[in-house]
Amino acid sequence: MSASGGFLDLPFAKRTLANGLDVIVHEDHRVPVVGVNLWYRVGSRNERPGRTGFAHLFEHLMFEGSAHHDSGYFAPLQHAGAQVNGSTSADRTNYWEVVPTSAVDLALWMESDRMGYLLPALSHGRFETQRNVVLNERRQSYENRPYGLALMALMAALFPFDHPYRWPTIGDRADIEAMQFEDVQAFFRTYYGPANASLVLAGDIDTARGFDLAEQYFGDLPGGTRPAPVMVGAAALGSERRILLEDRVQLPRVYFAWHSPAMFEPDDAELDLVGDLVANGKTSRLYRSLVYEDRIALDVSAAQQSRAMTSVFVLTATAAPGRSLSDVAARIDVALTRLASDGPDEAEMERSRAQIESHFLYRLQTVGGFGGKSDQLNAYNVLRGNPGYFQADLSRYQAATRESVRVAAARHLLSSGRVALSVVPAGQAVMALPGSAPIVVS
């Protein structure tokens, strides 16, 4: 392999406590900090129609206090110099602190207290306040933002009404407004026990001490259960479904979305490469033809949005002023057809291999936070059942060939149905792709 080969590794030790909590420790003593990272196997896919937004609401409620520290979660940790945050996706929720080595005990005490003793401190008033904060988050991040509702529209068109990937992680507004306190408490009892969680300590900590501390702070919490994972495959789309959304925007944008293989499944890595090859950055084929040469689009991007049950591949382009989405769409189809017939050339594959190696290496620079080593170990443990998957993950990309990339594009982006969403300026439905049906998202 390459000269960086010896460094491309993410070693760890793992144990599972008697109550079912997975504990993983990774040592890195370069900086006197420790990433404390806790994943719960709960996301918006564990919700149901009419009752959406619960997992994300907990990403707020978990910071409001627990039985033995009955006030804000941030104050003691910020006093210790910690960075603190969390996030929610369809498949999981993560919570993390990056603390000075001297504050690991504090972070574990805090995390274990909210895991074991959140509900005694969860008052109706705190719930109501955070419900309103979430409604403001929804306004800020989606409703009051150009193109902010596009992904919600795509998912609603790709999946039937009861599919767990149909609704947004933040939840439908009506569901957030209708949440009942008792339902919120029940949701916590179901999903937030040690048996449904995975803890990683990465950084300036000895492995033995890491396991001792985990046992000390979490070992006496009742395990609870690990609910069976929700598993629903993709619903097939027979053909192209065209929809349109009017928005407060200046220029029309087209989104194409296809069902694609689940995270880590065959073709998942190849489709990741297809996204880069076709539409990401100035070296991509569509940037060159649409933005650089013909100037009919302002921007173009694509991503294999990998998820646990089934994925979605999304390709987006914004039309230049005076250019039609039909022209843009036709050029996209030409590029996809060509890729599916000829595959990438050798120079494209070489560039892509260099970028893969470097970006896996860049990922090893931080122990904590989003995307740091602790988050990666938890992702592999929770989503793959194997925290040691780092090198196998890298190998998936290194093993990709011109032919495997070509086949993935042909199999998933040509021979099946897709959703084509046009987002157009208000009152300009005529700018949408022909035959698009208006939809309403709120």
Q: Which is nearer to another protein, 364 or 414 (CB)?
A: 364
Q: Which is nearer to another protein, 156 or 297 (CB)?
A: 297
| Pairing of the two strands 83-88 and 22-27 | unpaired
Window 246 to 285, contacts with another protein (CB under 8 A): 248-251, 281-283
3-state helix, strand, coil in the chain (%, to 5): 45, 20, 35
Window 382 to 441, contacts with another protein (CB under 8 A): none
Q: Which residue from 109, 230, 303, 349 is in contact with another protein, where contact means CB under 8 A?
A: 109
Letters for 212-241 (x = contact with another protein by CB under 8 A, - = none) are ---xxx-xx---------------------
Q: Which is nearer to another protein, 68 or 384 (CB)?
A: 68
Q: Which residues does 290 contact at the CB level (< 8 Å), separation at least 6? A: 296, 297, 300, 317, 328, 331, 332
Q: Which is nearer to another protein, 148 or 261 (CB)?
A: 148
Tokens of 145: 């933002």
Q: Which residue from 93, 94, 130, 436 is in contact with another protein, where contact means CB under 8 A?
A: 130
Burial of residue 293 (CB within 10 Å: 0-12, 13-18, 19+) is: exposed
Instruction: Give the largest Cα separation in the chain, rounded.
Output: 65
The least CB distance from residue 92 to another protein, in Å, is 22
The interface region with another protein, picked from 41-49, 174-182, 255-263, 356-364 by CB under 8 A, is 356-364
Q: Are 336 and 262 in contact (CB under 8 A)?
A: no
Q: How many helices (H) and strands (E) does the chain have?
A: 15, 12
The interface region with another protein, picked from 36-44, 65-73, 233-241, 390-398 by CB under 8 A, is 65-73
Q: Distance (Å, rounded) from C-alpha 187 to C-alpha 164?
A: 16
Helix axes 268-279, 390-398, angle to 10 degrees: 60
The least CB distance from residue 282 to another protein, in Å, is 4
Q: Would you give the DSSP letter of residue 231?
A: -
Letters for 361-390 (x = contact with another protein by CB under 8 A, - = none) are xx-xxxxx----------------------
CA distances in angstroms from 318 to 213, 260, 274, 310, 429, listed in the order given: 51, 23, 19, 27, 15
- Contact between 15 and another protein (CB under 8 A)? no
Q: Which residue from 16, 123, 140, 395 is in contact with another protein, where contact means CB under 8 A?
A: 140
Q: Which residue from 288, 384, 402, 411 is in contact with another protein, where contact means CB under 8 A?
A: 288
